[in-house]
Structure 1
Amino acid sequence: MTFNPLEQRGIPLDRQLRNWRELNVDPIDPDHCDPYTRCRIITMNGIEVEAILFSHHLARHTLDPEVKRQLARVRYIEAQQQKVVNWLLPGVSSVLETTIAYEQVAVDLTAWVARMEPDPYLKQAYQFGVLEDFDHLYRYANLYEMIEHRKAEAIVDGLTEVMPGRPTKYHHRDPVDNVRDPYDKDATNPLSKLHALTIMSAEQQTMNFYMNTGPTYMEPIARQLYQEIGLIEEEHVTHYESLVDPGETWWEQLVNHEYNECYLYHSFMEQESDPKVKAIWELHLNMELEHLHAACDLMRRHDGRDPASVLAPELPNVLTFEPNKQYLRELLETQMDLTTLGAGYVREAHERFERMQEQIHGGEEPPSERVMAEHGAMFGREYRVQSEGEHPDPAMREK
């Protein structure tokens, strides 16, 4: 059934404010929940954080006090939504357990978007990034077994494979080689805009999470690994945000944000297995419909354009969390040795890449390699859980 959020009305804005009792949601049970429920929660937290930050930046760039007030009204509701969504995560989970869930999001969300992306250049950007998130999951799984003596499979529940991707030490590139070419806002498929905004928001939240939680660990190797991967997440945000056409006006970006929230809440409502969480997705969708209409009014008034001219006429097929094992194995077979050069990709190391490697590593092994060595010394083996055979890259099998 088609769903056009521009034709739907939700809860009036003046009825969206919730009291403390309504905000006090019960968290999910980490031992019995669907891992993809947790992934949807983490994703929507990142989407809401991006919506709030974007609204703040827009408010700082307008002189119109009425626009500032309108943004503030909606933004406060968005902030309540973010608190409800993020507070669904269980306090009994450790930071490292939540980290592994963040990387499961990065792997299966980015892989699904890559599979569905109609633009070949954008598809390649997602394929490139997901092999790095895949390796981050593997490095954190080693750290998790070292510190908490548990397997990451207890968190990802076999839905996402835990095995090496493109080695993390090779993710450090000259900053200029993290900047991609943007899509053309006037020619690109509206779905591509939603994909770019979704992955950018998710990676931004991962960057924020690592930069704030990394130093809370006492173990030196944990602090160092979070520091290294946190820097790579900054590279990923640069990589993905540069895909968005900077020629989009503030108002066009605003309606894209609100439309994307409608798309994702609708998608997650359609597939959610937890009734309590599903009710939250449905409630927030009905709130976001009004936020979208408010943004559309601002665009008509200040941009002089009809929002329907830049938005999809109906929501695309629901964004779905599902296993992507075979797809990722195919990427491992064909794209493991890629790096970036300018806005494109090459298979050979080049001067800027090698210089960055020398400067950042300083002739020593980075934390992502040391965690493997310490794991091996502790357990006398590598971390390996593969349901379908060994790693496809012989070089990685020898490590």
Structure 2
Amino acid sequence: MFNPLDHQGIPLERQLRNWRELDVDPIDPLAADPYTRCRIIALNGIEVEAILFSHHFARTCTDPEVKRQLAEIRYIEAQQQRVVNWLLPGVPSALETTIAYEQVAVDLTSWVARMEPDPYLQQAYEFGVLEDFDHLYRYANLFELIERRRAAKVVDDLTEVMPGRPTKAHHRHPVDNVRDPYDRTTVDPLSKLHALTIMAAEQQTMNFYMNVGPQYMEPIARQLYQEIGLIEEEHVTHYESLVDPGETWWERLVNHEYNECYLYYSFMTQESDPKVRAIWELHLNMEVEQLRIACDLMRRHDGREPADILAPALPEPVRFEPNKEFLRNLLATQIDLTTLGAGYVREAHERFERMQQQLHGGEAPASERVIDEHRAKFGDEYRIETAGPHPVTALRGEKQHA
């Protein structure tokens, strides 16, 4: 397997690009593989997290030389983020892009949950993905309701669209969104990469909804973005709390850079678009050098060898692929879970019920009303089911919707 510690990347002084090089051609929205778009969105989230982390590090750092090194790398990361995010075309609406964001959340988190070696961390991803799955369903109904367009044009037949854990039930008391962290001294290095990846993806989604929601005029759209945007804040809390707070800044810096190498390498090996694949390869070679610098900083200021905390080689590449059977199994076994403290329970508890009453006040939230409005206009809700009846409604004998 590829080990970025064994390779030389592009020297940092050669990584700066001019405007012409940054002005990349976007993908064709009609011809592109939906998973190419997913890889773009996922890597944008990773680059945004790298930039924000570097800024936070710089604000606590007292060494001027280190601050200058962070600033130099951060500027290159900012260029990388622009190139990645600018691969998205300007044609799709914010809502169409939102559906793509939720496809990323569903299939990336599902893959991580399937590969996660730690049972407690695996449960955290399984719990979260059933909520993203339901968000995709709610937004898909909004998409047809206000734009008269079908989510199948965005997700193809790769990801199903149907109810998950009802969005209304995602609103929990904030203290019940904090999980127990992994132990940095004993955890599998792969688990660190998983936690960083999903935290960054959810953080990007939270920020996106915070900003695009008020751009809509339709009340139901504004209200749905507000509701799901608050749940994405819960998800960021959920995932960021998995990371051991005892990791030093230097350790975190190395983990961030190593994770970027991991994801660029993973997506480069899977990418079907040659133009996009060339960008993943270029950025991987940049990240290898940025990782080398981070490792040198860790040795100098933390007194430890980065190899002691990293995997000896990159794990099995992350893949975007359908997860229909996996998700249907989760729907059949975990749809009624909620959280209590750092754990999970099946029965609604007093704190959960109080939060539900305070927030909803006996009224149906936007996530429920968007389905009602879709049914009123089209006679049914919008779903994409490609592998048989919904595992929960089938058990209950409820009517299926095409």
8 A Cα contact 2:137 2:383, kept in partner: no
Q: 5+ residue gaps in structure 2?
A: none
What whole-Å deviation, never above 9, does each CA across 1:120-168 have from its counterpart, x for those lacking one? 0000000000000000000000000001111101100110001110000
Counterpart mapping for 1:203-214 below 5 A: 203-214=202-213
8 A Cα contact 1:164 1:396, kept in partner: no
What whole-Å deviation, never above 9, does each CA across 1:225-258 have from its counterpart, x for those lacking one? 0000000000000000000000000000000000
The answer to whether structure 1 residue 137 and structure 2 residue 148 are counterparts is no
CA distance in 2, matches of 1:119, 1:246: 18
Structure 2 match to 1:183: 182
Code of the aligned partner of 2:220: I
Shift of residue 388, structure 1, vs aligned partner: 2.1
Code of the aligned partner of 1:9: Q
How many residues end up aligned between the 2 structures? Answer: 398
CA distance in 2, matches of 1:350, 1:396: 28
8 A Cα contact 1:27 1:89, kept in partner: yes
Code of the aligned partner of 2:51: I
- Residue identity over aligned pairs, in percent, reads 79
CA distance in 2, matches of 1:349, 1:381: 29
Code of the aligned partner of 2:207: N
Counterpart mapping for 1:1-399 below 5 A: 2-394=1-393, 397=398
Code of the aligned partner of 2:162: M
8 A Cα contact 2:58 2:67, kept in partner: yes
Code of the aligned partner of 1:125: A
CA distance in 2, matches of 1:313, 1:384: 44
CA distance in 1, matches of 2:221, 2:29: 22
CA distance in 1, matches of 2:398, 2:88: 36
CA distance in 2, matches of 1:372, 1:350: 27
Shift of residue 382, structure 1, vs aligned partner: 1.8
Runs of 4+ aligned residues of structure 1 deviating over 2 Å after TM superposition are 394-399
Shift of residue 396, structure 1, vs aligned partner: 9.3
RMSD of equivalent CA atoms: 1.0
* TM-score under structure 2 length normalisation: 0.98
8 A Cα contact 1:185 1:247, kept in partner: yes
8 A Cα contact 1:251 1:299, kept in partner: yes
CA distance in 2, matches of 1:97, 1:333: 29
Shift of residue 201, structure 1, vs aligned partner: 0.3
Query: What is the SS of the residue equivalent to 1:345?
Result: strand
CA distance in 2, matches of 1:214, 1:201: 20
Shift of residue 385, structure 1, vs aligned partner: 2.5
CA distance in 2, matches of 1:300, 1:398: 62
8 A Cα contact 2:127 2:334, kept in partner: yes
Code of the aligned partner of 1:217: Y
8 A Cα contact 2:29 2:92, kept in partner: yes
What whole-Å deviation, never above 9, does each CA across 1:26-49 have from its counterpart, x for those lacking one? 001111100000000000000000
Shift of residue 386, structure 1, vs aligned partner: 1.2
Code of the aligned partner of 1:37: T
CA distance in 2, matches of 1:61, 1:230: 29
Code of the aligned partner of 2:251: E
Query: What is the SS of the residue equivalent to 2:60?
Result: coil
What whole-Å deviation, never above 9, does each CA across 1:329-374 have from its counterpart, x for those lacking one? 0000000000000000000000000000000101100000010111
Shift of residue 175, structure 1, vs aligned partner: 0.2
* TM-score under structure 1 length normalisation: 0.99
